[in-house]
Amino acid sequence: MKLVASHWVLGLCPLVLLSSCMTAPEEKLRLAAAEGNLLRVQTFLGQGISVQAADGRGVTPLFLAAKNGHPDVVALLLERGAAMNLMRQDGVTPIFIAAQEGQQEVVALLLKNGANVNTRAGIGEVTLLHVAAYREDQELITLLLQHGANKHARMTSGERPVDLAQSQGHAALIPLLEP
């Protein structure tokens, strides 16, 4: 039985090596961005791989760096021309992903570079302020308000950020979010 198992494992090794060699350069760039590997991102971009290299769902390296909280990679991608208000298939932008994940430093960097503070998700018309209210993220709320976030924005269900904070029991946020 051990002999059969070792042949099976040895038979997989070339497949694993071959599949890693066959990974598209664009996928390698996205993976490096997701990992926050600045040197690898620089190398791939230097080889001419597009900063906008998206997968089938519209996920670019910027989405992955923003989601995983890698401000140095986000800054490099922006410097190289990454579109920060580009939407995935589901209507979500990189700043939206960063806000959902609580990546305040990345949100601040994207706002500084001109990202839309009042961007809405494709589903539900949710804004960044709604996300921050739901997450009970007072620092993110303060940052968004400093950049002109709309306290009056309503989701398709009619809720404003203050309404969402109330329904979630986040009483400390209500004074910040009251219109």
pTM: 0.84
Q: How far apart are CA 110 and CA 159, in angstroms?
A: 26
DSSP state of 57: T
Q: Which two tokens stand for residue 104?
A: 């305040």
- pLDDT, tens digit, 9 for 90 and up, residues 114-141: 999 999 988 899 999 999 999 999 999 9
**pLDDT value of residue 16:** 47
Q: How far apart are CA 174 and CA 8, in angstroms?
A: 61
Q: What H or E segment, with its residue span, contains residue 128?
A: helix 128-135
143 within 8 A of 112, measured Cβ to Cβ: no
